[in-house]
Structures are given as structure tokens and as C-alpha cells.
Chains A and B, each alone.
Chain A
């Protein structure tokens, strides 16, 4: 371990001709760039541009279909995560890889606890943990359970853990997306220190400000391709980076067309419930697309859970076209015509082992079954085929298991499920997360055509471009409260971020 750490000191990290294909999708094609030691290298691009896939290859989760990594003068392909860790690579993911029920010290040494004959030496464990946390997060007691730490603190524990394994290459995947301003500042200082120690740092972020503040070089991705690398930040400007990332004007992708706004549809007043800190009030009209922007943990998903009846609200009134609604469970919301496409498709959206047809028909089926329970084979078949055609779901047959479809086609199938039902309000939580650009613009088209039919649409997204691209009006949330609302014309990246960033409480 010690020797290895020495040998990689001062070495650069190069991606050489990395290609990654998944069945039916080319996630990465021919990625070539070098990150210098003692520098912070930013990776930028839209969601689904390939940054995460690249980090997963770096971390050993995926193996490239062709091409390899080069650390110093050694070519390598990591066969698994352990292989990657052994070679001095650490990837700090958005979802941290810590066990919340265990203590900080146990997490730090998970897999190689100091022990003799299998009996853990608690004293030494604590000593070594304190050593590691020194200079990173000295206020954390090694005996606290990780579950009780703030997200920022957990991130520091994760960094300490990777340093304990002798990491030379450290990759951060959107590290500040759920941090407060103070925590962000502290993280920046630590990253700067690691840089000065000669480590290679990869930094994935959407935030221009941070990238220009901390990074030395930047590589832009788009649709799985490597667009351009700027070796020095002084060579470029935020505007130039955006043009590189998007490649075409925003209007082309989002295909925004102004619509007539109808009468008020969903009216929310003083709504309170789990995940909200202040009462929320707003109104959506028929044919309107309301964007809901905020950082991870701002309470957007929680608000949708209240609106879709998944969670019961503790105070406030919901009105649909003037009538007061009582939502005890998702069934009530669905019966009222409020339909939700959840954020986590795999966990909450699809029944993975069921067929595409099954997933489309599941909700509307009781309305078409005799006596509410006997299936009508003809309707089942016709409806599935109709939705598959209308939404261009790419599947060999309606009876294919839905887990074999790409994310975009799964999302279209869930939209098909709701299009089989009478719909008044459509709630979309991160509708294009992890979806390739082609399917993305198809989904935007579907959203627009639904709005044109007079349906009120609420789109939750943490993708700035996306909210600005498709919404008529944008509401911003931060720390469980609505912090502002901007009309399409007033919305700029800066203003939205300003509203979304948590206020420093120091």
C-alpha cells in the first residue's frame, strides 16, 4: 500500500480512447484527455452527457468497451471497484457510500478494521480515525454514528476514507449540490489543499461560478462525446462553455411554443407537511407548464409527494378547479386526475419484471375490466399498442419485460400509463434524469402537447437548462420553502441559483 502510494505521486491521469456501449445506447465514444497532477480538472456537460459513466469507469463499476486509463506511465482497465481503489483512485459520489448505522471510525476502516484474532481494537480504531480526520473535520467525534452527521460532514468522512486508502486520483461528482454555503466554502479549501499536495482532482459540476473559482482546466461532454478541453480556465468564458455543452440553441431542444393559458386548475394554499418548512401556496392553470427548481433536498420531491397523495398534508387546502380535495392516498389523487411520474423510475415507477403492456395498463385497467375485475383482453392489447405507437416507445413487442428497455423508453411507458387515464394535472419529478438527448426532446414534445390540450403540468428539475427551456413560469424552492417565482422572460441562471442556494445562517 505504502509503496504504491509513493509510486503514483505526481503522476497524471489520462483517458485514452474510452468507448462505452450499453445494449442499444452508445454512452461514451472515444474520450481522450489528460488531467495533470496538482490541478483540479472540471468535467461539464448536460445530464446524460456521459460524465457519470466516465466516473463509473474510473471507479471500476463499469469496464470500457474499448480504450483504457493511463495513470503515470501505466495503462490500466479496472476490473472492479476494489481494483480501482487499489490503484489509488477514489470517486466521491453524490449518494455517499457510508453505512449510516455505523460509527464514523467504523466507516473509515470498513473492510480493514484494526483487529487481532477478529477482535476489534476499539482504542486503536479511535486513535487512527482521529488521525485521519485531522485537518479535515476535527469537530467530528469518531464514535458518532454517521447517520447523525450533516451531509457536508459525511462528505468529509468519505474524503478521509479515500485518503486513508492512499488515493492519488480523487473524483467528485457534483459535491456541492446538497451543501450549505459554509460547507461549500470548507470543501473548496480542502480541495485546494489536496491539489497543492499534487493529487489529480476531477470535479463534476453544473455550477459555472464554482468551476471558474476552483478549477484549472475543463473538459466538456455532450451526448457521450468529448467536445473540447480547455487546459487553462483563462482561455474560456462561461458563455463559450454553455455553447459547447448544448451545441445548438436551447430553443431547438426544448421546442418551446407559447400557449394560451386556461383557467385556474390546481390551487394550493398554505400547504404544510413532511419535508416543508414553511407553508406553500401557488396556482397552476390549465395548459400551463410550471417549473419547480431547487437543489437536492430543497423539498420539491416532498411537495410532489403531498400533491400526489403519497404523503398526507398536515395543514392547508388543495383545490382542483374550485373543488376542495382530500387526498388520503395516491388512489385519491389518481381518481381526481392528478398523476405523478416519480423521480426514481426503477424504485417507484416501473414494475421491472412486468411487461411493457402490463406497466402501461396497470392503472387504467379497472375502468375497462368487467365488474371492475375481469380483464378485457382486447382492451389490454389495444391500449398497450396504442400508447406504444403514440409515444414511440421502442420495444420489440408489448410483452417485453420493461426492465430491458432504456430509461427514456421506460419513462415514455409511464407517461403512456397516465395517458390511458383521464388527466387534469401531470406531476413530473426529474422527468429526463438519466435519459439520452433524443428521448429527452421526445419527452419535451409530449409535455408540450399535453399542455396544449389544457393539462396543467408541474415539472420538477434540478437541471437549470431544462426548467428554463420548457417552463412558462418557474417557482424556486430552498430548504423546504418557496423562495421565489419568476416568469419565463425574467428567469436567468443567476437569479434562479440565487433563489435556490440555501441562505447562510452564520
Chain B
């Protein structure tokens, strides 16, 4: 049998341009935008602005890591914006009552976990559309946030709590460190574990994954549970930065996060997603927003520009799937 020869008979290309573009285009675009901004915008590279940019990236960056898993599995989670607000409120209220930072943070994360588990169970076990499920929990959790806080911001007195948002380690703000850790961890999780590969297989073809013996339901539940916990973590960081739990923040935040992921190259249809897509998407959105602020562009115009960029990104995504 000449099987071995046959397998090698097809020419092996050492460099696949199309694949390279698919994988790295948005990363290069992010880099290009960054370079353009340093060249043409005064004060862009200043330490103060870089710090602001880093902090702006941090919240979106943290949540985008788990949104990547939701999208890669062919779903999405609209409840994160509410989870962020509610987590901040829960942390603040628990700290006010019990004077314990550990208890406050744990309570917030536990709340996120519960919301995530409910999302996951309903979507995986009851087979209900993620759009409807998370649209419902988005409103429920937003409401709970208002109920816990009586509709007003809840101030935090515990000094130690401010480490999450305003502390520094090795000269780097803690939120940025948390973002980096999340990116590294979730990037590793997606590429080097069965869980990560199964996530992509489910997004690519759920029926085939099921027949291949993948724990489809369990994987989905874990994905949404992760999203809940990480959303709550982002909420804790945000509350710490603002020194209070505010029930009204984070409205529309879920859409920003999904925009960032899709902009970077994660497929809305599922099956395609890499951590570098997330990095690129988050960077592009944040840098452009930062640049627009430095240039004093009116907020109204900013909406138009952001929407246009997103529309462009989805159109590109559509062409890539051909």
C-alpha cells in the first residue's frame, strides 16, 4: 500500500496567507490604530492617558474573556450588564451589614454564580433560546440590584475593598492585572483543555458534538456559570473603583462586550473564537473611544462611529465565512 505517499502527495504550503489574515488581521488593525493614535493625537501616550486607557479596557476585557466562550459555543449572554451592577450592590450591602470585605466579595461572586447557573440550566436543559433566557435574567437581576440598594448608590467604607479598583502591584493598577490574568487563563482554557475544544465543537455543530460523545449540556452550564462569576468579578472591581455599589451602571454593557468580541473576529454564529480576537476587539474599541474623547468628539457622534465600526466588523465576519 502506498498510503503514506498519497498523504504526502498533496503539496504542503509553508505559509497560508488566508489563514494568517483570518487569525491575525484584527490584531494588526488594533496595532495600526494604536500607532496612528500615538502619531496624530497629542497626549495619547502620556502615562495618565495610558492608565486611563488601561482601566477602560479592564472591565470590558475581563467580561469579554468569558463572553468569548458564550459566543464560541453559539450563544451569548445579555445579563452581564445587570450582573455587574447587582454584584457591586451586593458587595456593598453585605460589607455595610457585616463589615467584612471577604464576605462581601464572596457574596457578590456567589450571586453571579447563581445567575450564571440559572442561565445555563435553562438554556442547556430546557433548550430555551439564549436571547430570551438572558433577556429575562437581565431584567430580573437589574431589578434585584435596585431592590437590594433601595434604588440608590450604596457607599463602601472598608478601605481594603478599594484595592481591587484603585490598588497597584508592581506599579500596575490591579484592574489591569486582573484583566491580564483573565486573558491568560481563559486563553489557556480555550486552547489546552477538553472543555475549551468542546466549547468550539458545540458552537461549530452541536448535533455532531453530541454524537461524538461531548458533554454538551454540562459544557454549556459551565460556560454560563463562568460568565456569571466573571461578570460579578468585574462588578466588584468597578464598585471598588467608584467606592460604592451603584444599581444603575452597566446598562448596555453586554452589547459593548459582544461588539468587542465580534469586532475582534469571534463568530456570532459560534464555532470560531480565539483569545487574540478578544484582545484585538477590546483594544480597538477602547483606543478609538479614548481617541475620540481626547479629540473632544461629541458623545452623540461617538455612538454613530461605534455603531459603524461594529457594522463593518460583522460584514467582514460574514465574508470570512464564505
A residues adjacent to B (C-beta < 8 A): 308, 310, 329-331, 334-335, 340, 342, 347-354, 358, 362-363, 365-366, 369, 372-375, 388-390, 392-397, 417
> CB-CB < 8 A to B209: which residues of A?
351, 362
State the CA gap A407–B295 with chains docked (Å).
Answer: 55
A350 touches B208 (CB 8 A): yes
Closest 7 CB pairs of A and B: A351-B204, A334-B213, A353-B271, A392-B3, A396-B10, A351-B205, A353-B204
> CB-CB < 8 A to B205: which residues of A?
347-348, 350-352
Point out the residue from B3, B207, B212 that lies within 8 Å of A363, measured CB to CB: B212
State the CA gap A155–B195 with chains docked (Å).
Answer: 46
Within the complex, the shortest CB–CB distance from B5 to chain A, in Å, comes to: 10
Within the complex, the shortest CB–CB distance from B24 to chain A, in Å, comes to: 16
State the CA gap A393–B10 with chains docked (Å).
Answer: 11
State the CA gap A375–B201 with chains docked (Å).
Answer: 15
Q: Is B308 an interface residue (CB 8 A)?
A: no
State the CA gap A347–B205 with chains docked (Å).
Answer: 7
State the CA gap A350–B271 with chains docked (Å).
Answer: 12
Q: Which residue of chain A has the shortest Cβ distance to B198 in the bound complex?
A: A362
> CB-CB < 8 A to A394: which residues of B?
6-7, 10
> CB-CB < 8 A to A342: which residues of B?
208, 211
> CB-CB < 8 A to A340: which residues of B?
211
Within the complex, the shortest CB–CB distance from B186 to chain A, in Å, comes to: 14
Q: Is B272 an interface residue (CB 8 A)?
A: yes
Q: Which residue of chain B has the shortest Cβ distance to A334 in the bound complex?
A: B213
Q: Is B20 an interface residue (CB 8 A)?
A: no
Chain A contact surface mostly: loop
State the CA gap A180–B52 with chains docked (Å).
Answer: 73
Within the complex, the shortest CB–CB distance from B276 to chain A, in Å, comes to: 17
Q: Which residue of chain A has the shortest Cβ distance to B269 in the bound complex?
A: A353
> CB-CB < 8 A to A329: which residues of B?
210
State the CA gap A393–B212 with chains docked (Å).
Answer: 19
Q: Is B129 an interface residue (CB 8 A)?
A: no
> CB-CB < 8 A to A348: which residues of B?
205, 207-208, 211
State the CA gap A452–B132 with chains docked (Å).
Answer: 52
With A330-B213, A349-B208, A352-B204 given, is the CB distance from A374 to B192 under 8 Å?
Answer: yes
B12 touches A397 (CB 8 A): yes
B193 touches A351 (CB 8 A): no
State the CA gap A369–B197 with chains docked (Å).
Answer: 12
A354 touches B200 (CB 8 A): yes
**Which residue among B7, B208, B209, B210 has the maximum number of chain A CB atoms within 10 Å of its CB?**
B208
A354 touches B194 (CB 8 A): no
Q: Is B318 an interface residue (CB 8 A)?
A: no
Q: Is B214 an interface residue (CB 8 A)?
A: yes
Q: A330-B213, A358-B197, A362-B201 are in contact. List 6 more A-B contacts (CB 8 A).
A: A310-B211, A350-B208, A351-B201, A351-B209, A358-B201, A389-B3
> CB-CB < 8 A to B11: which residues of A?
396
A366 touches B194 (CB 8 A): yes
With A347-B205, A350-B205, A369-B194 given, is the CB distance from A396 to B211 under 8 Å?
Answer: no
With A365-B194, A375-B194, A397-B12 given, is the CB distance from A331 to B215 under 8 Å?
Answer: yes
Instruction: Scan residues 181-200 of chain B and give those whose CB is less than 8 A from a CB of chain A.
Output: 192-195, 197-198, 200
Q: List 7 A-B contacts (CB under 8 A).
A: A347-B207, A349-B211, A353-B200, A353-B271, A362-B201, A374-B192, A389-B7
Point out the residue from A362, A389, A417 that lies within 8 Å of B4, measured CB to CB: A389
Within the complex, the shortest CB–CB distance from B204 to chain A, in Å, comes to: 4
**Which residue among B195, B201, B204, B215 has the maximum number of chain A CB atoms within 10 Å of its CB?**
B204
Point out the residue from B12, B192, B212 that lies within 8 Å of A362, measured CB to CB: B212
Point out the residue from A350, A365, A393 that lies within 8 Å of B197, measured CB to CB: A365
State the CA gap A329–B3 with chains docked (Å).
Answer: 36
B12 touches A396 (CB 8 A): yes
State the CA gap A265–B80 with chains docked (Å).
Answer: 51
State the CA gap A392–B1 with chains docked (Å).
Answer: 10
Q: Which residue of chain A has the shortest Cβ distance to B204 in the bound complex?
A: A351
